[in-house]
A = this chain, B = another copy of it.
Amino acid sequence: MSRLIEYEEANDEVRAVYDDIRATRKSDYINNFWKALAVHPPTLKRVWTIVKGVMAEPGALDPLTRQLIYLAVSITNGCEYCMASHAAAARALGMTDAMYAELAAIVGVANMTNRLADAFHVPVDEVFKQG
């Protein structure tokens, strides 16, 4: 149902993005997400630009922490593809089975307490309003 654009059949605009993905990740592998977005080159380019900026540019959070945050969102949204791809990225950066299980447990507990806070209409503490 999904059409995937391989490098060989890609036009110049798509190839330029694929080349940048390879250079940024220091790997020849292009995963299916980008091959699927390539059906619409402007979307491919825009999404890659922001993902690269947010995930690969130097910043205050280390690369593994960034992937764990990405995973937490993807599990909350139940996105199969994103769970698979970002779990792989996190493992490549050192995530162990225990770390993944702890992450999943935190995601579960947060989803529980988010609803409890709503259900009990908990007012925000004054000391939390200064942040």
Contact = CB atoms under 8 A, between A and B. Distances in A.
Overall SS of chain A's interface: helix
B50 A110 contact: no
Contact of A77 (B85, B105, B111, B121): B111
Interface residues of A, number: 82
Contacts of A46: 49-50, 53-54, 105
A61 interface: yes
Q: Count chain B CB atoms within 10 A of each CB in A51, A65, A121, A131 and give the residue with the most.
A: A131
Interface of A: 1-2, 4, 29, 31-33, 36-37, 39-40, 42-43, 46-47, 49-51, 53-55, 57, 59-61, 65-66, 68-70, 72-88, 91, 96-125, 127-129, 131
